[in-house]
Amino acid sequence: MEDCALVNDVPVLPVKNADGSVLVSLERLAEEDLVRLDPSVPLTASLVVLWHGGTCLMVFNRFRQLWELPGGMIDPGETPREAAVRELEEESGQRTHDLDLAGVARVTCAPDDRSEFLAVYRGRVDTPLPFVPNAEMSGATWWHPATELPDLTPIDAALARLCPAE
């Protein structure tokens, strides 16, 4: 499924998922600048690009039947960072508070073409914790961006490549 154009191993935007959702841009900004985002576009979710060596954590969503980055909706009263930490642990069992804001992705969500911002955090773990299947995720894998992973969403693959380990 992963299908996006690359130039020097960097995704060319926009990138489109099979459901019609589109990754329009990834803007690099400091966490304190999140308050300056276009107020007409909601910041709805946080994603985590978690690295172990040269591999990135992907989780298999049992409902969508797709590999994706850990992440999810920002709960009321929760910061984007808090949502990232919570979703990472809930979906994958991995625990880290050592995340940096890699950027804010602007996506157009299908089927209604609404625009949303997603906070994209990046982190690293030296010793990954074992994955235990849960209500939402049935699997986890450490994916190397130079390899193919069937059923990996193009948007999530692009975000991983755009947010490499530093």
Q: How far apart are CA 113 and CA 55, in angstroms?
A: 32
pTM: 0.95
CATH of the domain spanning 6-162, picked from 3.90.79.10, 3.90.25.10, 3.40.50.10330, 3.30.540.10: 3.90.79.10
Rounded (5°) CA angle 25-155-111: 90
- pLDDT tens track of the chain, all 166 residues? 556 666 667 789 999 999 999 999 999 999 999 999 999 999 999 999 999 999 999 999 999 999 999 999 999 999 999 999 999 999 999 999 899 999 999 999 999 999 999 999 999 999 999 999 999 999 999 999 999 999 999 999 999 999 999 7
CA angle at residue 90 from 84 to 93, to 5 degrees?
100
